Amino acid sequence: MKVLAADGISPKGIELLQKDFEVVVKDKLPAEELLEIIPDFDALIVRSASKVTAEVIARAEKLKIIGRAGVGVDNIDIPAATAKGIIVINSPGGNTIAATEHTMAMMLAMSRNIPIANETMHKGEWNRKKYVGVELRGKTLGVIGMGRIGSGVAKRAMAFDMNVLAYDPYINEERAKALGVKIATFDEVIENSDFITVHMPLTKDTKGMIAMEQMKKMKPGVRLVNCARGGIIDEADLAEALKQGIVAAAAIDVYTSEPPAEKGNPLLEAPNIVLTPHLGASTVEAQIGVSVDVAKGIIAALHGEPVATAVNMAPVSPQVMRVIAPYLTLAERLGGTVVGLADGPIESVEVTYNGEITEVNTGLLTTAVIKGLLNPVMENEVNYVNAPGLAKERGIKVSERKDRASEDFANLITVDVVAGGQKLSVQGTLFGTQGRIVRINDFRVDVDPHARILICPHINRPGVIGTVGTLLGGNGVNISAMQVGTTEEEGKNLMVLTVDNDIPAALLETVKALDGIFDAKLVNFYEI
């Protein structure tokens, strides 16, 4: 598989990817070139420079995953990716400190006029009076967006003896208390702060959230910082407010269009403003961090594993992931087994969880069942992103049940399916870290779900198993393991043969026609 790493990703992550994949590295990738070469790639890594538009995605014939080496995914058309089953991941932890420290650097640089003082010194000037600044101590800092970076800025501001007022509609009192900040409304923050810094994503709600109307409500002498996304603070209004002295100073790292000079930007001409060229994440440490994190995510996803930082599927916390991760392959294989038994189209799937596993969110495991169930019957690859949508599209009703009680096993997953009017069921558990199928329909079994299995309900009488073995052997199919499942029903057993070779359709029909054999179904776990 081929990975395209655009936008100057640190070599540390590239080295990891190169162990498994062919990697093409591009420091600069013009939009036309991206459009031209994307059909060839299975994975794409970007920072903020490359725009992964709907057009790029439409041309991406093989693309399975887009990795953002950083936080903001506003340069990726996520709905278009999701519709095509392309996973989008980011790597949010790696650059938090870098962006946090850059915000502090910008606040200090702006308060003490460092950039202009430095510039004029180099011109031979000595302007001590002109560049008198203001202190941070005792001032109120309004933090809008109290996520990873906002919290880090608040913590550091408190070390400077600032009072922090925070606005974030999605943070609760408890978290605010733990952070030591005062939660306030948006209006309270903008009306009472001496400094205001924004740290949220650019969305339709946050675009232009701070415009002239809000600036006019702010304290005289207010200073604004934007190290999040261009446009959260309206650029034209900020330039005007700086000119009119409504805002005393500003420090800006991000722009609605980057580089801002290309399309023109009023901030470039505005007074009392400190500008940096989107440097928030640009530290050696952060670039190694995001590159390694995104590479690990790409490797996991291309190996069919879920990625905790996927932004276009339901988020799974690391705690929940720890509990459910060992069951993911089993869940997928249970789905694959049950579809292998089906003679008609799947109408409904009910996944029942028993035991300790019921204590966590099992949504991803149900998705794994669906993924396993659809993969053998779909031409295109089914993954954790597109599986729920594909099931819905095909009219498959999916439900989940939980029952803490579990009689024979610590944890149990049961997949009940109605297919072509017929009820089918398989059940699995983990023995240590090993997945096992412990029931197929009414038959108790103990099957390691790997390679290929041939499932034959048959009459329990001498010689029946032997005839199957002889027929397969005679056709060059090696049997590496065998299980005979029993049921309460007299005279009927279930033979499950693990085979090393594929069984062609014609041979499968011959097995089915053998005396004493009721049916023969092949489940190929290599296809699941």
Q: Does the active-site annotation cover 303?
A: no
Q: Which two tokens stand for residue 528?
A: 């699941």
Q: Of 124, 128, 132, 170, which lies in the binding site for ligand NAI, with binding defined by CB under 6 A?
A: 170
146 binds ligand NAI (CB under 6 A): yes
Task: Note the Cα 159 to chain centre separation in Å.
Answer: 34
Distance (Å) of CA 342 to CA 337, 376, 427, 520: 9, 12, 15, 11
199 binds, among ligand HPV, ligand NAI, none (CB under 5 to 8 A by kind): ligand NAI
229 binds ligand NAI (CB under 6 A): yes
Of 410, 446, 415, 428, nearest in space to 329 by CA: 428
Q: Among residue numbers 356 through 375, which ones bind ligand HPV (CB under 6 A)?
A: none
Question: Which listed residue (68, 223, 278, 458) is catalytic?
Answer: 278
70 binds ligand HPV (CB under 6 A): yes
Q: Does the active-site annotation cover 394?
A: no
CA distance 216 to 46: 38
144 binds, among ligand HPV, ligand NAI, none (CB under 5 to 8 A by kind): ligand NAI
205 binds, among ligand NAI, ligand HPV, none (CB under 5 to 8 A by kind): ligand NAI
148 binds ligand NAI (CB under 6 A): yes
- The string of DSSP codes covering 417-477 is EEETTEEEEEEEEEETTEEEEEEETTEEEEE---SEEEEEEEE-STTHHHHHHHHHHHTTP
95 binds ligand HPV (CB under 6 A): yes
Binding track, positions 238-257, relative to ligand NAI; x by CB under 6 A: ---------------xx---
- Binding residue count for ligand HPV, defined by CB under 6 A: 11
225 binds ligand NAI (CB under 6 A): no
CA distance 69 to 47: 5
Q: Among residue numbers 279 through 318, which ones bind ligand HPV (CB under 6 A)?
A: 280-282
Q: Does the active-site annotation cover 322?
A: no
| Residue of minimal Cβ distance to ligand NAI | 147
| Residue of minimal Cβ distance to ligand HPV | 70
Secondary structure in 3-state letters for 494-521? EEEEEECCCCCHHHHHHHHHCCCECCCE
CA atoms within 13 A on the CB side of 477: 23
Bridge partners, residue 450, by sequence: none
Of 66, 145, 67, 167, nearest in space to 99 by CA: 145
526 binds ligand NAI (CB under 6 A): no
E strand intervals along 316-396: 346-355
Catalytic amino acids? 229, 258, 278
Q: Which residues bind to ligand NAI, rule: CB under 6 A?
A: 70-72, 92, 95-96, 99, 144-150, 167-171, 199-201, 205-206, 227-229, 253-254, 278, 280-281
